Amino acid sequence: MQLNKHTNGLLSIYFTAGYPTLDSTVTIAKALEDAGVDFLEIGFPYSDPVADGPTIQHASEEALKNGMTLKVLFEQLKDLRKHVTIPVFLMGYVNPVLQFGVENFCKACKEVGVNGTIIPDLPMYEYEELYKGTFEENGISNIFLVTPQTSEERIRKIDALSTSFIYLLSSNAITGKNLEVKDQSEAYFKRIKDMDLQNPFIIGFGIHDKNTFSKATTYANGAIVGTAFVKLLAEENYLEKIPEFIGSFK
């Protein structure tokens, strides 16, 4: 799979590492690839996830109870590339990364074959000033978020700093709020598309069914499903249900 501005209709899935069980991480990743998902975000849990709604908060809490840490996650991902070939991004909050050490974190990502990271509470200024060099040395792309309120000037700056894709939030909201496809959000998606950015942009937050996925991918190169998939993981025999779930988006 090529993540570039000419690819379209990409489906990406977010799930929390260590949920529903500590060792479910790689099994779920492989099942998602087999079901035809184009790339993955694997969340590493944090005790205070301020940008997340109840579903992902709950998954994080459970994952922490199960014993998930960054150390455990990188151990689990050692053989990731034996099982999974699609791009993988790690997503989580900055404090666990700081405690792990930013340099150790980037090196570990590189070693296990993680392509990039999404760290919503690591601001662009701090990334540029303190950490950009370390990320680049290890070939790790850091993904930045854009919201309906982000100014054009800032989007241009984000585009210049990005090396993989731009994560476009469907609305200014925490995760798990279903996107209502209104003229307003379509106008926003179109505005971004018309900016003709150098990076592909992928829409996330609120994408939960075929309708929202198809609206998003009318404008964006792809869309990310998080909360809706994490809800599936709470069901019995979730692994068997993954192909049908993924099939329902396309």
Partner 1 sequence: MSKYQVNDKGYYGPFGGAYIPEMLYPNVEELQAQYLKIMEDSSFKEEFEQLLKDYVGRPSPLYPAKRLSERYGANIFLKREDLNHTGAHKINNTIGQILLAERLGKKRIIAETGAGQHGVATATVCALKGLECVVYMGEIDIQRQAPNVARMKMMGATVVAAQSGSKTLKDATNEALRDWINNPVDTHYIIGSVVGPHPYPDMVARFQSIISAETKKQLLEKTGRETPDIVMACVGGGSNAAGMFYHFLDDEDVKIIAVEAAGHGVNSGESAATTALGQEGVLHGSRSILMQTEDGQVIEPYSISAGLDYPGIGPQHAWLFKSGRGEYVSATDDEAMQAGLLLTQLEGIIPAIESSHALAHLEKMSFKGDETVVICLSGRGDKDLDNYMKYFNL
Which positions touch partner 1 (CB under 8 A)?
Answer: 46-51, 53-54, 57, 61, 64, 69-71, 93-100, 120-123, 125-126, 144-147, 149-151, 154, 169, 172-174, 177
- Minimal CA–CA distance to 163: which of 190, 198, 205, 137? 198
User: Which listed residue (33, 38, 52, 62) is catalytic?
Assistant: 52
State in angstroms the smallest separation of the CB of 18 from partner 1. 11
State in angstroms the smallest separation of the CB of 247 from partner 1. 31
Nearer to partner 1, 35 or 94 (CB): 94
Nearer to partner 1, 149 or 211 (CB): 149
State in angstroms the smallest separation of the CB of 63 from partner 1. 11
Nearer to partner 1, 35 or 51 (CB): 51
List the beta bridge partners of residue 202: 167, 222
Tokens of 214: 């198809």
User: Which listed residue (33, 38, 41, 62) is catalytic?
Assistant: 41
Q: Is the peptide bond before 20 cis (omega within 30 degrees of 0)?
A: yes
41 carries an active-site annotation: yes
State in angstroms the smallest separation of the CB of 169 from partner 1. 7
| Interacting residues of 233 by C-beta distance below 8 A, sequence separation 6+ | 15, 19, 20, 24, 28, 59
**Rounded distance, CA 236 to CA 250, Å?**
24
Please report, in angstroms and rounded to a whole number, the separation of the first and last CA atoms in the chain: 16
196 carries an active-site annotation: no
**Rounded distance, CA 168 to CA 81, Å?**
27
Residues marked as catalytic: 41, 52
